[in-house]
Amino acid sequence: MKRLILSALALLSLMSAWAQDAYVPSESNLAAREKFEDNRFGVFIHWGIYSMFAQGEWYLQEGGLNAAEYAKAAGGFYPASFDAREWVKAIKASGARYICFTSRHHDGFSMFDTAVSDYDMIDSTPFKRDIIAELAQACREEGIALNFYYSLADWTREDYPVGKTGHNTGRKGNAQDYDSYFSFMKAQLAELLTKYGDIGAIWFDGFWDHDSDPVPFDWRLPELYSHIHSINPACLIGNNHHRAVFPGEDFQMFERDLPGGSGWSKGREISNLPLEMCQTMNGMWGYKIADQNYMSSGELVRLLVRAVSKGSNLLINVGPQPDGNLPQAAVARLAEMGEWMNVNGESVYGCGAAGVPEKDWGVATAKDDKVYLHVFDVPENGIISVPLSELAGVFGQKPRWKKIKAELLGGAAVKPEVRDGNLVVTLGQLSPSADHVVRLSF
Ligand code: FHN
């Protein structure tokens, strides 16, 4: 019997591997990947009824709360100041070109009008406005792409097979049924992909809830992924499983770490799919009242540039307040990033790694036949240098160095020289900036 079960399991996993290997991205998907990479900079938004408690998005779990008591927050969720246009304008002003919004987090509350649950904005709150419909409309008007975060894990539904989190929420646990939960997710994803216009990507999270099960849990991802691609072949799929990519995915994500970094992505294989690092401006993703420890706009600019220098996007998170406003600290940082992007955006959009390893003074990005040197810290003598060999990837082995031009974006031309196998640029006195960008071209 045991042998029979094992063979059936082996057959199932073979079939599932086959289904995943069979994924061939459509032309529209490949074009969407390119657009996603060109955009380079997005804003993540974690917003839900958890914002009411102002303790971050994990409060149901971390506070050891009962889900039925927690759900009462929905009855008071009336974010009177919510104005999707204002949000999107503030985000666009930063230079970000896309938004990824939490349609449903691990607490199971849907921020949109869903027909398959009453635990949503329309049926459970006095606000009765479809946040996502308003956000989608504002994004369309402002030309900002919209992606959806969607949690695979759920701490409240009885049909969700309980994983390593969400044990104390008061679930009876006697009706766990992945078929039922899977159909629910498919129905919600179909709603998200058909009711709100063109959606750029689905950003899955929560896979890790079952990563230490004694018998590997089958999320039926190939089926879920092909469900999405059959509705919209161009929709990109990413999954925050903290592993190497699975076939069927269209981009790879890295949480709180750069690809190849020494933190959460340590040792993880980097795919040749588009890459995206996500990070939050302060400590928590969802609004947390005590968490005012925001990165400065200079640090955020440098993080964005570092991500691009590794061939990755940056998705930077903001946790809106329960009243519907974005925290002022976040708005100020978005505006300051925008000031920098207005001058230096060409060294970010459509750019990638330059093949120049990180230097004491900063990093480099490249696009077509241009290299951008990002000077975070101007050396005391005002001079930076790059070995010519490191520029060969962009300029070729034997360029006519005499003809190379160096210009400070938003500033004057600076004189490059070739000395001892290095390209040397004298910057001189510069006014303070998070990142002075020197464009090299012929
Ligand atoms: O548990 C979530 C967390 O709340 C947040 O959504 C982040 C965003 O990357 N992802 C999960 C942890 O891996």
Residue 21: what pLDDT?
A: 59
Best of 61, 285, 313 to mutate for ligand 1, by most ligand atoms within 8 A of CB?
A: 285
In sequence order, the β-bridge partners of residue 365 are 353, 372
Residues 318 and 434 in one domain: no
Q: How many CA atoms lie within 13 A of 123 on its CB side?
A: 11
In this structure, what token pair is assigned to residue 402? 């005499």
Residues 360 and 336 in one domain: no
What are the CA-CA distances from residue 200 to residues 140, 229, 274 (Å)?
A: 12, 12, 13
pLDDT digits (tens, 9 = 90+) for 212-235: 999 999 999 999 999 999 999 999
Please state the domain count of the chain.
Answer: 2
Distance CA 183, CA 190 (A): 10
Residues 294 and 389 in one domain: no
Ligand 1, atom 3: closest residue by C-alpha: 285
pLDDT digits (tens, 9 = 90+) for 233-285: 999 999 999 999 999 999 999 999 999 999 999 999 999 999 999 999 999 99
Atom of ligand 1 nearest to the CA of 255: 9
| 351, 384, 408 - which closes a domain | 351
Spatial neighbors of 116 by CB under 8 A, at least 6 apart, are 184, 187, 188, 191
- Average pLDDT per consecutive 10 residues, the chain (442 residues; last block may be shorter): 41 43 92 98 98 98 98 98 98 98 98 98 98 98 98 98 97 97 98 98 98 96 98 98 96 96 92 98 98 97 98 98 98 98 98 98 98 97 96 94 95 92 93 95 96
| 292, 317, 351 - which closes a domain | 351
Closest CA to 305 of 335, 355, 345: 345
| 351, 366, 396 - which closes a domain | 351
Distance CA 371, CA 113 (A): 47
CB atoms within 10 A of CB 85: 14
Residues 223 and 282 in one domain: yes
Residue 22: what pLDDT?
A: 86
Residue 278 CB–ligand 1 contact under 6 Å: yes
CB atoms within 10 A of CB 254: 25
Residue 217: what pLDDT?
A: 98
Residue 151 CB–ligand 1 contact under 6 Å: no
Residues 270 and 339 in one domain: yes
Q: What domain range is 340 assigned to?
A: 2-351
Quickly tell me which residue has 């190497």 as its tokens. Answer: 244
Residues 270 and 377 in one domain: no
Residues 141 and 156 in one domain: yes
Distance CA 22, CA 83 (A): 43
CB 198 within 8 A of CB 147: no
For residue 395, the domain's CATH number is: 2.60.40.1180
pTM of the model: 0.95
350: helix, strand or coil: coil
Residue 240 CB–ligand 1 contact under 6 Å: yes
Residues 395 and 315 in one domain: no
Residues 366 and 325 in one domain: no
For residue 117, the domain's CATH number is: 3.20.20.80
Atom of ligand 1 nearest to the CA of 253: 9
Residue 57 CB–ligand 1 contact under 6 Å: yes
Closest CA to 280 of 293, 264, 266, 262: 293
Cα–ligand 1 centroid distance for 380 (angstroms) = 41
Quickly tell me which residue has 């996603």 as its tokens. Answer: 36
13: helix, strand or coil: helix
Residues 19 and 167 in one domain: yes
Residues 429 and 295 in one domain: no
Quickly tell me which residue has 């933190």 as its tokens. Answer: 263
Residues 185 and 211 in one domain: yes
Maximum Cα–Cα distance for the chain, whole Å? 78
